[in-house]
A = this chain, B = another copy of it.
Amino acid sequence: MQYDFKQLINDKDFDKIIEICEETPPPSVAELISTLEDSTIYTVLSIIKNIDVKSEIFTYLPIDHQIQLSKIISKSELADIITNMSPDDRVDLYKKSPDEIKDLLTRHLARAEREDIIKLSSYSERTAGAVMTSDYAALLADFTINEAIDHLRKEAPDKETIYYAYVIDHNRHLIGSVSLRELILAPSYLKVKDIMATEVIFANINDDQEDIAKKIEKFDLIAIPVVDDSNVLLGIVTHDDAFDIIRQEQTEDVEKMMGITGYHQTGVYLKTPSLTHFKNRVTWIVILAFLGSITAMVVHRFENVIQQLTILTVYMPLLTETGGNTGSQSATVVIRALALGELSYRDIPKVLFKEFKISFLLAIILALFILLRVYIFNFENSSTILTLDQVAIIVSAAIAIQTISATLLGALLPLIVNKLKLDPALIASPALTTIVDISGLLIYLSIAQFFLNNTV
């Protein structure tokens, strides 16, 4: 699917543009036109007469396009589009807009929508309140089945939100839920309260967005109702929001594993100021530099060994890298298993035993590799103190012990950090690499010193 909208506009072939926009799903149209200049997008949008189609396409445009378009679009058209957007998308645009656009967005709205925007935008970021929509179907418990179906027919908002209706009392307390399916299948002489489910899975307005996404996922929900502390129904979070939340949290998890702090929004790498990127990264880089200073102390302590055996420095980086790689692997699988709830503190012995077996196999492979490496390359051994055989033994023994200890540390540390109620991702790659560098250098240089003491 690729249309040249610019050409179509030049040719004034508006019918074709309308046809494309009405027959292609709105997310695809939005994707197609989002590569165009804002003025061209504006022209395309003004050609579309169907306000539902227009609003949907607008909704699926990246938020910065939405903001730019809000500036150039005519006031009445903007009001139409905004009014037709779903409340959560509308408030998303509102919250991310600069003040002058905020003003534009609300000025031409009807009072109900204006108040809705103000209210929805007042909830804290990343809570149920911030991601919910006020667009849901609520039924009174006293409604008859027919009244309920009629109500849904007339009042029910767009798309999937019609399929689950939430049952409230006269004070808007959430007391049950009923699906359109159950309403259709029920005998018409019953009332809503006779068929509603009273055990409703719900979220509190202050719940963390990630917990809500997990609930939607766990219970296979299409939507989850959101209530305040007195159980008053305030909105719903739909399953498509859960996808966005999971993607966002997933990005942040990966970034946290690499020592990057801060919240991540999708689609913004290039738009985020360099200073913000810097701030997100600098904390861990400095912490790790402090931690890394310990490696300098370790090496310093063994400087006399190194002075006699500079050949050992040749294999130093390879040794620290191998520890970092094997440790990061075990840390990654354990962190992931913790995140998915597969492991807990009491599994430590089992995890360590498993990782010991895995690392033992890796250690054999790596020790053999390094043995071959030492003999094949056989760098003119500048050391007159140790024989090539001795160098080979020191290096391969060190790499084997380092592989096993780094793997075990990589598995153990996230479990301990988790037990301390901290995020195990803290101990992922960079932090762990630095820690196993320290242990690896200690192992390597201690073995070398032992040989030195027993040879010289």
A residues whose Cβ falls under 8 Å from a Cβ of B = 23-25, 27, 149, 153, 156, 159-160, 162-163, 179-181, 184-185, 199, 201, 217-220, 222, 239-240, 242-243, 246-247, 250-251, 253-255, 257-260, 264, 266-270, 274-275, 277-278, 281-282, 284-286, 288-289, 292-293, 295-297, 299-300, 303, 306-307, 310-311, 313-318, 320-322, 324-326, 328-329, 331-334, 336-337, 340, 342-343, 347, 350-351, 354, 357-358, 361-362, 365-366, 369-370, 373, 377, 379, 382, 429-430, 433-434, 437, 441
Q: Is the CB of A153 within 8 A of B185?
A: yes
Complex contact B281–A362 (CB within 8 A): yes
Contact in complex: B320, A27 (CB < 8 Å): no
Q: How far is the CA of A219 from the CA of B31 in the complex (A)?
A: 11
Which single member of B313, B369, B379 contacts A286 (CB below 8 Å)? Answer: B369
Whether the Cβ atoms of A184 and B306 lie closer than 8 Å is no
Asked whether B310 lies within 8 Å of A277 as measured between CB atoms, the reply is no
Q: Name the one of B24, B246, B266 contacting A243, with C-beta atoms under 8 angstroms.
A: B246
Pick the 3 closest A-B CB pairs, nearest first.
Answer: A295-B317, A269-B337, A220-B240
List the B residue with the shortest CB-CB distance to A249. B250
The listed residue (B163, B289, B333) touching A318 by CB distance below 8 A is B289
Residues of B within 8 A of A257 (CB): 254, 332
Chain B residues within 8 Å of A251, by CB: 336, 340
**Across the interface, do A332 and B267 meet the contact criterion of CB distance under 8 Å?**
no
A105 and B274 alpha carbons, distance in the complex (Å): 59
CB-CB under 8 A from A149, the residues of chain B are 184
Instruction: From B277, B337, B429, give the contact of A258 (CB < 8 A).
Output: B429
By secondary structure, the A interface counts as: helix
A441: chain B residues at CB < 8 Å are 317
Contact A267 B299, beta carbon cutoff 8 Å: no
CB distance from A318 to the nearest CB of B (A): 4
Query: Are A430 and B328 within 8 A (Cβ)?
Result: yes
Shortest distance between the CB of A202 and any CB in chain B (Å)? 12
Please judge, given known A-B contacts A162-B181, A299-B317, whether A289 and B25 are in contact too, CB under 8 Å: no
> Which of B260, B266, B292, B370 is in CB contact (< 8 Å) with A322?
B292
Q: How far is the CA of A314 from the CA of B306 in the complex (A)?
A: 10
Complex Cα spacing A429 to B431, Å = 12
- In the bound complex, how far is the Cα of B366 from the Cα of A284, in angstroms? 12
- Residues on B with C-beta less than 8 A from A343 are 269-270
Q: Are B334 and A314 in contact, CB atoms less than 8 angstroms apart?
A: no
Question: Which of A181, A251, A260 has most chain B Cβ within 10 Å?
Answer: A181
Expressed in whole angstroms, the Cα–Cα distance for A370 and B289 within the complex equals: 9
Extra pairs beyond A297-B377, A299-B313, A310-B310 (16, CB < 8 Å): A25-B199, A153-B184, A160-B163, A160-B220, A184-B184, A259-B328, A266-B340, A267-B342, A269-B333, A274-B354, A281-B358, A285-B366, A286-B366, A295-B321, A303-B311, A321-B434
Least Cβ distance of A344 to chain B in Å?
Answer: 11
Q: A257, A258, A284, A430 — which one has the most chain B CB atoms within 10 A of its CB? A: A258
Give the docked Cα–Cα distance between A288 and B326 (Å): 10
Shortest CB-to-CB span from A407 to chain B, Å, is 9
Distance to closest chain B CB from A177 (angstroms): 12
Q: Are A313 and B316 in contact (CB under 8 A)?
A: yes
Counting chain B CB atoms within 10 Å of each CB, the highest count among A253, A266, A326, A433 belongs to A433
The residues of B that contact A243 with a CB separation of less than 8 Å are: 217, 242-243, 246
| B295 A325 Cβ-Cβ under 8 A | no
Instruction: Judge whether B334 and A269 touch: CB under 8 Å.
Output: yes
Given contacts A260-B329, A284-B325, A351-B270, contact A316 B318 (CB under 8 A): no
Closest chain-B Cβ to A131's Cβ sits at a distance in Å of: 14
Instruction: Say which residue of B181, B239, B332 sits within 8 Å of A239 (CB atoms).
Output: B239
